[in-house]
Structure 1
Amino acid sequence: MNMVMRSDLDQWWRNAVIYQVYPRSFNDTNGDGLGDLAGIIEKIDYLHELGVDAIWISPFYPSPQADAGYDVADYFDINPEYGSLDEARELISRAHAVGMKVIIDVVPNHSSDQHEWFQEALRAGHDSPERARYIFRHSVGEPPNNWGSMFGGPAWSKVEPLTGREEDRDWWYLHLFAPEQPDFDWNNADVHQLFTDYLRFWCDLGVDGFRVDVAHGLVKADGLPDDLRGSDRWVDGDRDPDVFDSGPMFDQDGVHEIYREWRNVLNEYGRDRMLVAEAWVDPPSRGALYVREEEMSQAFNFDYLKCGWRPARLRTIIDQTLREMNNVGAPVTWVLSNHDVVRHTSRFGFDPEHSTEAGIGLGDPQPDRELGLRRGLAMTLFTFGLPGSVYIYQGEELGLPEVTDMPDDARQDPTWLRTGYQVRGRDGCRVPLPWKANPADTGFGAHPWLPQPADWHEFAAERQEDDPQSVLNFYRAMTARRRHYDLGHGDFEWVAYDNNEVLVVRNGKITLALNMTSEPAVIPGQYSIVIASGTCDHVSGGVELAANTAAWLS
């Protein structure tokens, strides 16, 4: 496969294994039920032993926590619940000392309604320079257009209840997410300056990269036209993942000018500083636009995440994304789980056509936990054998399933409230990690911010540490072998097989095999077994791979 040449072909992020830390749920050092920066520092050696090249830390800024930190009140400080800037410096220094990079979340589409700019805008009144930083519009009786919030309900809220002033009657502000998250107006020069200042501030502290939240949403279509989808982005408590993030508020061409501007800022610090796009866009050719050399370094491959246990779809997505990324000389960035989706070990425990877009809760159909884990480990091993960069979501290295029996009154995701208690939301994948095998306290005190299931201690890292058959040690072996065979820098070639539900790929010296059938499959040839997610044995003429199992062969 011919590769488009770029000047950054040797950069660390092109083949990195990156671990997502969701700080509120990662590690709690003071027993208050919330993870903290000290907890990340405490686990630097654990992450290093896991074999990751970098950590991505979800928002840790001062925030009222209307959306778990994605409502930022101050882009230049640390939430006191999590720690301090001094601890952030120590974290970055400790990570660098063991050879790991640090990526942080930047949230540029919206701020918190408690950000000083929005509070100034409310005080200043309409047609003021302060309000020009956000998207305010005048409309009598009804919202300015029919856009819906991603969390349910309309995307517009009235200004008058916030100010109590008659002159604000019939004025509205836009929030694609919660009302507490007003959208910036990226036509405003102050907004551009805020974020170039932000990039320099955190680069000066030593940050190596930025994951860009809602990267496809910053620029809205001229005139803010109505959305053909209408104001209810959730229909009967569910959504179509292929069109949910589409419309005149997403993937406008103007976003690319912003990222070219950011790339120029980061270049002041060298080509080692990276950007990764959270851009839910279709088709893959649109996603490739975000990772042209003068823009971002990576874009999450959400088509891969969404394709499920469907071999034909998986094959198509792999071919499409490899082709489109190759066209711009960018690596594919593989991902199976994150803080916004049901954990893949639970998604794979359903029939492939079953939707988990709304989350899983009490009274919902439940996944087959054993099947989900078996398929999840198989898909993970196959994914880690592909060329490019891969992401681990915290806890997947422990084999954690989605928490599907959370009491509804414990849920904190704004989607749950905004959809009138129809959509369970994302709390099930955000439950604090179990570090200790103590059933009364797995490491988050007596009252973690989201309740842990009664059996959570059985997944504890402490319990898995010395078990050679544990999921944790499987992940450690997988990352070590991936590095040994340099698979991230490798290549890709399909190997013909007589059953199209068995995927076989050659990457350098390694043959990847994924058996997506319900019966054993024999991979013909004289192979050594490098690593397997399940039963894999030599038989006459080849290697027999159990159902729902993957292996690397050499």
Structure 2
Amino acid sequence: MNETWWKSAVVYQVYPRSFADSDGDGIGDLRGIIQHLDYLQELGVDVVWLSPIYASPHDDNGYDISDYRAIDPLFGTFDDFDELLAGLHSRGIKLVMDLVVNHTSDEHPWFVESASSLDNPKRDWYWWRKPRDGRQPGEHGAEPNNWGSAFSGPAWQLDPATGEYYLHLFSRKQPDLNWENPEVREAVYDMMNWWLDRGVDGFRMDVINFISKVVELPDGEVPPGRLYGDGYPFYAQGPRLHEFLQEMHERVFAGRSGDFLTVGEMPGVTIEEAQLFTDPARAEVDMVFQFEHVDLDHGPGGKWDDRPVSVLDLKRNLAKWQEGLARTGWNSLYWNNHDQPRVVSRFGDDRPEHRAASAKALGTVLHLMRGTPYVYQGEELGMANVPFESIDDFRDIETLNHYAEAVDIQGQDAAAVMAALRRTSRDNARTPMQWSAAPAAGFTTGTPWIEANPDYVLVNAEAEIHAPDSVFAHYRRLIDVRHRSEVVADGDFTLVLADHPQLFAYVRAHNGRRLLVLANLSGEPARYDASELAGWEDAALVLGNLDDSVDRGVSGSVEPWEALVFEQA
């Protein structure tokens, strides 16, 4: 077993609903993924992380699971899954499943039983509470505490049949599991082992830092301008979280042969906490997804309250995490996933003259840092945010709920709310993968469940895969550098030109070899004092992202959105 194989690996996230539709129903499926395995192999990725394909009512696009051991018919069958798994493995690519165990669907048999009566044996599998202060069920303010849901509204839903409320940190159709109950944990571990026995190679763990809650569930502070209390201090990094993760490792992974990957999605996790979660000696998870860098453009009002982010903000934050996990732990490196707007529109420049260069520059600074890079489908093409015209164009439950609360309840200006949705909505990441200039971006022969970005006629895989100067080609080169360079996998990280307002520059060093990454993350030329990079004058340029980068050196200037990588032996 190579316990650190993932140091030189690159993970590719597939969002099945939007990746490729094989049967013309407008929804992506497993056979659609199978049809594009050669594409993934051509890109050079080592792992595919598959967003949920389990049986689900799809209130939250499959993150509300009604049966962990069934494939939703929308996506296919177990025969399709087995063919997909075999096809990946034959190409040397591992498969990581999405593990969603903070909550289930309210249509999961566990919850159906739990809700059936006050004395059902599974009643304690979820968080049930009586109305507050002896108030009547359904009365205003009767919710057991004042927490708000991540998807707007209160975090409690009344069950009229039993007169009690259940906790849901997300949709009301996503009740939270009670991990305090050992039977819940055993059922989860048994399910995880079942999937590993089928041949999968690990799990990406959805909001796994929420599974241990302060059992008293106290009220949270109500931030200014908000309708509900902030329960985060009481449900994140809870008192038994390390115990639960160590128990999970022992019951699921310990003693198994094979190379597995575990990554925990942990909103709000700090460096000090991440050091503990990813310390190999503690046997919890291999790496975490932290959110600090993708929260930088969130204002005081949260994710829908946009604020500008400077290059200084961005590089200092990422460098802080590089340094914080340098000796203990490991970084996950990502710009995009199914919950984030497209990075080329967010931190880059999606105008035609800069889209490709900025996509390549952002990819360069991310992929050559210390950590495991994650590529979200379409990122390798430079896919951008979507010019949604009306609220009817959106599909995401978080987006729709926010619009209804902001406009209908709080009376905010509808045009301003729509502008925020265009910038930030998760649907920016969920429009169809852009395969070609054919109708619906070549994603489906039918009507797509959500419309494709109109720019697919120019930005698509067919146009990029054989073009030597494309975003796809650049990502392929980045992945190749990581695969063959011990400096990238194991080297130290040192931020240079730390105070430059346009340049993100750093040095990686290992066993006498060094890499210098120098990237202008702006649309204006950048000047710098070349003496600050003394010793790099004769270094070999190993990668550049502009047509004329082949002749570039450490010269004191960098073109708009230019990224350069130099090597010294």
Specify if TM > 0.5: yes
Aligned equivalents of 1:233, 1:59: Cα separation in 2: 31
The residue that corresponds to 2:564 in the other structure is 551
Q: Give the corresponding residue for 1:389.
A: 372
| Matches of 2:552 and 2:263, distance apart in 1 | 44
Identify the residue that residue 347 of structure 1 maps to in structure 2.
Answer: 346
Per the alignment, in what secondary structure is the counterpart of residue 509 of structure 1?
A: strand
Q: Distance in 1 between matches of 2:166 and 2:243?
A: 24
How big is the shift at 1:315?
3.8
SS in 1 for 2:218: coil
Mapped contact 1:20–1:338 kept (Cα < 8 A): yes
Does structure 2 retain, via aligned residues, the 8 Å contact 1:389–1:488? no
Q: Aligned residue for 1:519?
A: 525
Matched, 1:401 2:406: no
Could you tell me whether the CA contact under 8 Å between 2:432 and 2:441 is conserved in 1? no
Pick one of 12, 16, 31 that aligns with 1:19.
12
Counterpart residue identity of residue 337, structure 2: N
Shift of the alpha carbon at 1:284?
A: 1.6
Amino acid corresponding to residue 338 of structure 1 in structure 2? N
Q: Please name the residue that 1:228 is paired with.
A: 221
Counterpart position of 2:110? 117
Gaps in structure 2 of 5+ consecutive residues: 298-308, 407-416
Equivalent position of 2:175 in the other structure:
182
Paired amino acid for 2:120: S
What is the aligned partner in structure 2 of residue 358 from structure 1?
none
Identify the residue that residue 477 of structure 1 maps to in structure 2: 477
Asked if the contact 2:356–2:471 (Cα under 8 Å) also holds between the matched residues in 1, the reply is no
Write the distance in 2 (CA, Å) between the matches of 1:332 and 1:435.
31
* C-alpha displacement of 1:148: 0.4
Aligned to 1:438: 438
Please tell me the residue identity of whatever aligns with 1:172.
Answer: Y
Provide the rounded CA distance (Å) in 1 between the counterparts of 2:279 and 2:177. Answer: 25
CA–CA distance in 2 between the matches of 1:245 and 1:337?
26
**Partner residue of 1:204 out of 197, 203, 219:** 197
In the alignment, is the contact (CA less than 8 A) between 1:276 and 1:298 conserved in 2? Answer: yes
Structure 1 counterpart of 2:245: 259
User: Pick from 261, 282, 289: which aligns with 1:300?
Assistant: 289
Q: What code does the residue aligned with 1:287 have?
A: A
Deviation (angstroms), 1:497: 3.8
For the pair 1:533 / 2:520, whether they are aligned, the reply is: no
Task: Supply the distance in 2 between the matched residues of 1:245 and 1:211 (Cα, whole angstroms).
Answer: 24
Query: 1:506 maps to what in 2?
Result: 507
Structure 1 residue 96: deviation in Å? 1.1
Question: CA 1:370/1:406 → structure 2, altered by over 3 Å: closer, same or farther?
Answer: farther
Structure with the higher helix share, 1 or 2: 2
- SS at 2:42's partner residue? helix
**Contact 1:382–1:551 (CA under 8 A) maintained in structure 2:** no
Counterpart code for 2:491:
D
Question: Deviation digits for residues 402-422 of structure 1, max 9, x if unmatched?
Answer: 113254213221123322434
Pair 1:90-2:83 in alignment: yes
Residue aligning to 1:65: 58
Counterpart mapping for 1:150-165 below 5 A: 150-160=150-160, 165=161
Q: CA deviation at 1:109?
A: 0.6
Name the SS for the 2:563 alignment partner: strand
Q: TM-score, normalised by structure 2?
A: 0.84
User: 1:520 offset after TM fit, Å?
Assistant: 3.3
Q: Match for residue 364 of structure 1?
A: none
Structure-2 separation of matches of 1:130 and 1:520: 62
1:250 aligns with 2:250: no
Residue deviations 1:309-349 (CA, integer Å, cap 9, x gap): 53333343234323332343x22111111110111111025
Structure 2 contact 504–518 (Cα < 8 Å) conserved: yes
The corresponding residue for 2:41 is 48
Name the aligned partner's letter for residue 336 of structure 1.
W
Shift of 1:199: 1.0
Q: In 2 relative to 1, CA 278–541 (structure 1 residues): closer, same or farther, beyond 3 Å?
A: closer
**Distance in 1 between the 2:42 and 2:71 partners?**
27
Counting only pairs closer than 5 Å after superposition, residues 305-316 of structure 1 correspond to structure 2 as 305-307=294-296, 310-316=310-316
Aligned AA for 2:4?
Answer: Q
CA distance change for structure 1 residues 394 and 487 in 2, over 3 Å: closer, same or farther? farther
Q: Distance in 2 between matches of 1:331 and 1:544?
A: 33
After superposition, the Cα gap between the structure-2 partners of 1:322 and 1:453, relative to the gap in structure 1 and judged at 3 Å, is: closer
CA change 1:159–1:493 in 2 (3 A) is closer
SS at match of 2:506: strand
Structure 1 residues without counterparts, runs of 5 or longer = 1-7, 236-242, 351-366
RMSD: 2.6
2:274 corresponds in structure 1 to 287
1:485 Cα deviation from its structure 2 partner: 2.3
1:413–1:427 Cα contact (<8 Å) kept: yes
Deviation at 1:289, TM superposition (A): 2.4
- The Cα of 1:56 is off from its aligned counterpart by 0.2
- Aligned residue for 2:260? 273
Counterpart amino acid of residue 453 in structure 1: N
Would you say how many aligned residue pairs link Structure 1 and Structure 2? Answer: 515
Contact map agreement 1:16 1:388 (CA 8 A) in 2: no
TM-aligned CA deviation for residue 13 of structure 1: 1.7
Identity %: 31
Q: Which residue number corresponds to residue 363 of structure 1?
A: none
The answer as to whether partners of 1:18 and 1:53 remain within 8 angstroms in 2 is yes
Which residue does 2:124 correspond to in 1?
A: 132
Change in 2 beyond 3 A, CA 1:296/1:541: closer
Q: Does 1:147 align with 2:133?
A: no
The structural deviation recorded for 1:220 is 1.3
Q: Is the 8 A contact 2:464 2:472 kept in 1?
A: yes
Deviation digits for residues 480-521 of structure 1 (CA, Å, limit 9, x no counterpart): 223222344231343644862323322243211122353233
* Aligned AA (1:511): L
- Cα distance in 1, alignment partners of residues 343 and 239 from structure 2: 32
More displaced, 138-147 or 472-481? 472-481
Which stretch shifts more, 61-70 or 307-316?
Answer: 307-316
**Contact residue 154 and residue 231 of structure 1 kept, 8 A:** no
